[in-house]
Amino acid sequence: MDKKERLKKQLDFIMEIDKVKNIFRQTYLADGKRKENDAEHSWHLALMAVLLKEYSNEEVDLSKVIPMVLAHDLVEQYGDSLLEKTPEERFAIIEGYGLPTNIARMERDLKRYKINYDVWFRESTLHESGYVKETIDMLTAKGATYETEDGALWLRSTDFGCDKDDVLRRANGFYTYFAADIAYHRNKFEKRGFDRVINIWGADHHGHVKRLQCALDALGLDGSHRLEIVLMQLVRMMQGGEVVRMSKRTGKSLTLTDLLDEIPVDAARFFFNSRAAETQMEFDLDLAIKQDSDNPLYYVQYAHARICSVLKNAQESGIALPDTGKTDLSVLTGADERQLIKQVALLPEEIVQSAVSRDPSRLNKYAVALAQQFHHFYNACRIKDAEPAVRDARLTLCLAAKQTIENVLKLIGVDAPESM
């Protein structure tokens, strides 16, 4: 392995090992306020080794001890056998330990949030297979790159409508993240046969949109039309009227796990989906756990539970639920009845518009409007004591509203409780 490749692997390892800051142990810090992470644990142990060396009954070789304690979890698993390995072998072992550990944690957290990815794609496979180099060579063959005196390779992005050219390979021979990103999207279009790709990025990546589309255009993949980017504005977490910047548990940036320890999953999903991508969002943690009509999720779920209660009470009173296909709905002539019918009928169009506009927050607004319309109907129209034909028509309308609320909440990934 030459020096450049060795340095690349070392830098990759430095970035990978940074993730141990997010692996938390069962032990607490000295003040007992929170659990320590692996990085803190290893650092503290290394410091102890340096300071307490003089009290050992045997000679302490810090050149061996420090690497062991800095990779403490690995040492527990592999002992001092790592010291007998070459640097390349150690890197492979540590990467093989750290990557699956962190991916498993991410999968667990996302599953808790009701997200299951079909494919987990490792960027390293693009480098290891030579796919990044092959992609950049293709751009060069098409005359879309040029090399500067220092040996860096640039994409002629300005030839494809961008405001500046972009580095693909640094002067030290390492490919940039941008180069890997181009290869990754080429993989989607060419190898995996995607007709269209929709990426969801943070708004801080807005400058990357046009340049990636330009690069795919240069490859002949029509990135300007086939690659669509939805930019999400950043979220501010609020509690007690103040911005929440750190997790109470870890003292670090708030993570999805921290959030789900504070509020129900359904609340998190509903609130995160409540704003259009281009809209700045303030996530009110206090409101998310509030159990009254101020909380939009509670309001919608309560409407569903109320309908279930109406239907249950009718059955307990000896009233059979109507055959919805045979019920005469022409008797529903009241304004509140008509408005509820119209609101129920809007769902298919809302689904289409949500997809076309890439704005699923429309479903949240629809769900709240439907719940509101049902509450108006419930307060204005007697059901159980109405004349039989009207009663059955109103029960049919309740069944339709109930199913529609279930459907829209399911699309958002939220439960529709039968009682609250």
372-397, pLDDT tens digit by residue? Answer: 999 999 999 999 889 999 999 999 99
Q: What is the per-residue pLDDT across 162-182, written as a single tens digit (0 to 9) for each?
A: 889 999 999 988 899 999 999
Question: What's the DSSP call for residue 399?
Answer: H
Question: For residue 360, what are its two tokens?
Answer: 């699923």
- Exposed/middle/buried for residue 120 (C-beta within 10 Å: 0-12, 13-18, 19+): exposed
- Residue 83 reports pLDDT greater than 90: no
Helices 265-272, 296-316: crossing angle, 10 deg rounding: 120
- Per-residue pLDDT at 223: 94
* Cα within 13 Å of Cα(265), Cβ side: 12
Q: Which of 40 and 379 is assigned the larger pLDDT?
A: 379
Most confident of 80-84, 121-125, 361-365: 361-365
Give percent of the chain above pLDDT 90.
Answer: 59
- Per-residue pLDDT at 256: 85
- Exposed/middle/buried for residue 173 (C-beta within 10 Å: 0-12, 13-18, 19+): middle
* Cα within 13 Å of Cα(212), Cβ side: 24
Most confident of 26-30, 84-88, 213-217: 213-217
CA 338, CA 56: separation in Å to the nearest integer?
A: 85
8 Å CB contact between 24 and 36? yes
Question: What's the DSSP call for residue 188?
Answer: I
The pLDDT confidence band at residue 26, using thresholds 50, 70 and 90, is confident
How large is the average pLDDT for residues 255-269? 90
Domains defined along the chain, listed by start: 3-112 (1.10.3210.10), 123-232 (3.40.50), 235-288 (no CATH), 296-412 (1.10.730.10)
8 Å CB contact between 397 and 341? yes
* Residue 250 amino acid letter: T
Give percent of the chain above pLDDT 70.
Answer: 90
8 Å CB contact between 374 and 307? yes
CB burial string 29-53: b at 16+ within 10 A, e below: eeeeeeebbbbbbbeebbeebeeee
- Per-residue pLDDT at 16: 66
How large is the average pLDDT for residues 359-384? 96
How large is the average pLDDT for residues 282-296? 93
- Per-residue pLDDT at 138: 97
The pLDDT confidence band at residue 336, using thresholds 50, 70 and 90, is very high
What are the Cα distances from residue 75, in Å, to 45, 52, 256? 13, 20, 30
The pLDDT confidence band at residue 114, using thresholds 50, 70 and 90, is very high
- Per-residue pLDDT at 249: 55
Q: Calculate the average pLDDT of the chain.
A: 88
- Per-residue pLDDT at 298: 97
Q: Which of 308 and 36 is assigned the larger pLDDT?
A: 308
Question: What's the DSSP call for residue 174?
Answer: P
What are the Cα distances from residue 183, in Å, to 6, 43, 134, 136, 196? 22, 37, 8, 8, 16
If one counts every other C-beta atom within 10 angstroms of the C-beta of residue 303, the result is 24
Instruction: Look at residue 175 and give its three-state secondary structure.
Output: strand
- Per-residue pLDDT at 14: 75
120's CB contacts (< 8 A; 6+ apart) are 103, 107
Q: Which of 410 and 123 is assigned the larger pLDDT?
A: 410
How large is the average pLDDT for residues 42-48? 84
How large is the average pLDDT for residues 102-117? 89
* Residue 6 amino acid letter: R
* Cα within 13 Å of Cα(34), Cβ side: 13
